[in-house]
C-alpha cells in the first residue's frame, strides 16, 4: 500500500531518484491510476504517440535489468513502466483521434483540416526528427505518471540507462517502437539518495530575452 497522498507541491519538492527499492508488490488499482495519469497528458494534435509496457514479473524484470546495464533497481522495483513511442502511431491512430475528438465536440472543420495537415506534418519527418518528436511527447506522459506515483506515496526512478535493441528483444516490441525511458516504481529500500541540488534560477531562467535576469 502507498502512504497517505501528498500534494503535488510536496511530491515535487520531496522527490528523489530512488537508488534502491524494497520490492513490495504494488496493487493493480494503484498502477492503473498511475498509468491513467500518463494517458491524460497533452500531445501534439492529440496524437498520443506513447506506448507503455508494464513489467512486474520477477523473470521479466530480471531480463529487463540485463538490458539496462545491470541496474539493480530495475529488478528491485515493484513495477517498471517502459515508456515507448510508436513512430507509426500517427498513421494508425489518426482516425481514432478524430473519432474521439468528434465525440467530445471537435468541430468538423478542424477534423477535415487535420485529415490532411497531420499526414503532411509527419510524412516530412526523417527518423531522427520522429525520435525527437516522440521523446518530447513520451516524456510528458512519463512525467505525469512519475508525479502521480509520488503523490500517491510511491518512490520513483526514471532511467535512460538501457540498450534500445536489448529492451526491444526482451519486450518483443514492434520495429516501429522507440524506447524512450524506464520508470521504476515502488518503495525505497534504506535511505534515499543525497540531494544533488539544483542550479539557481539566475543560471537557467531568462526574462523576455536570453541573458536578461529578473529585475
Ligand X SMILES: Cc1cc2nc3c(=O)[nH]c(=O)nc-3n(C[C@H](O)[C@H](O)[C@H](O)COP(=O)(O)O)c2cc1C
- Nearer of residues 98 and 186 to ligand X, judged by Cβ: 186
**Among residues 23, 101, 153, 158, which is the contact residue for ligand X, using CB under 6 A?**
158
- Nearer of residues 148 and 159 to ligand X, judged by Cβ: 159
- Nearer of residues 153 and 158 to ligand X, judged by Cβ: 158
Positions 52 through 81 that interact with ligand X (CB under 6 A): 71
- Nearer of residues 57 and 70 to ligand X, judged by Cβ: 70
Distance between CA atoms of residues 200 and 215, nearest Å? 15
**Of the ranges 20-28, 29-37, 43-51, 155-163, which one interacts with ligand X (CB under 6 A)?**
155-163
Number of amino acids touching ligand X (CB under 6 A): 10
182 by Cβ neighbours in 10 Å (0-12 / 13-18 / 19+) ranks as buried
Contacts of 100 by beta carbon, 8 Å cutoff, 6+ apart = 46
Distance between CA atoms of residues 165 and 68, nearest Å? 11
Q: How far is the CB of 69 from ligand X (least distance, A)?
A: 8
**Among residues 59, 108, 128, 160, which is the contact residue for ligand X, using CB under 6 A?**
160
Give me 163's grid cell: 540498450
Contact 179, 168 (CB under 8 A): yes
**Among residues 134, 159, 170, 179, which is the contact residue for ligand X, using CB under 6 A?**
159
- Cα 59 to Cα 63, 70, 76, 106, 170: the distances in Å are 6, 14, 12, 45, 11
Q: According to the binding rule CB under 6 A, does residue 161 interact with ligand X? A: yes
Distance between CA atoms of residues 152 and 33, nearest Å? 9
Contact 24, 186 (CB under 8 A): yes
Q: According to the binding rule CB under 6 A, does residue 136 interact with ligand X? A: no
Q: According to the binding rule CB under 6 A, does residue 181 interact with ligand X? A: yes
Sign of CA dihedral 82, 141, 190, 161: positive
Positions 183 through 202 that interact with ligand X (CB under 6 A): 193, 196
- Nearer of residues 173 and 182 to ligand X, judged by Cβ: 182
Beta bridge partners of 205: none
Residue number with the shortest CB distance to ligand X? Answer: 161
Residues that bind ligand X (CB under 6 A): 16-17, 71, 158-161, 181, 193, 196
Amino acid at each position: 500500500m502507498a502512504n497517505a497522498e501528498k500534494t503535488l507541491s510536496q511530491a515535487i519538492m520531496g522527490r528523489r531518484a530512488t537508488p534502491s527499492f524494497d520490492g513490495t508488490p504494488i496493487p493493480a488499482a494503484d498502477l492503473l491510476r498511475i498509468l491513467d495519469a500518463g494517458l491524460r497528458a497533452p500531445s501534439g494534435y492529440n496524437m498520443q504517440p506513447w506506448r507503455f509496457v508494464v513489467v512486474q514479473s520477477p523473470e521479466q524484470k530480471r531480463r529487463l535489468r540485463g538490458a539496462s546495464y545491470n541496474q539493480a533497481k530495475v529488478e528491485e522495483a515493484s513495477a517498471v513502466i517502459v515508456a515507448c513511442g510508436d513512430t507509426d502511431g500517427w498513421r494508425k491512430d489518426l482516425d481514432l483521434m478524430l473519432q474521439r475528438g468528434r465525440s467530445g465536440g471537435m468541430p468538423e472543420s478542424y477534423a477535415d483540416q487535420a485529415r490532411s495537415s497531420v499526414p503532411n506534418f509527419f510524412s516530412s519527418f526523417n527518423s531522427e526528427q520522429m525520435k525527437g518528436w516522440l521523446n518530447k511527447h513520451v516524456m510528458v506522459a512519463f512525467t505525469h505518471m512519475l508525479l502521480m506515483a509520488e503523490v500517491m506515496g510511491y518512490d520513483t526512478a526514471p532511467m535512460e540507462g538501457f540498450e534500445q535493441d536489448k529492451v526491444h528483444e526482451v519486450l518483443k516490441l514492434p520495429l516501429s517502437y522507440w524506447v524512450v525511458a524506464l520508470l521504476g516504481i515502488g518503495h525505497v529500500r534504506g535511505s534515499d539518495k543525497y540531494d544533488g541540488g539544483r542550479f539557481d534560477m539566475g543560471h537557467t531562467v531568462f526574462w523576455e530575452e536570453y541573458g536578461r535576469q529578473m529585475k
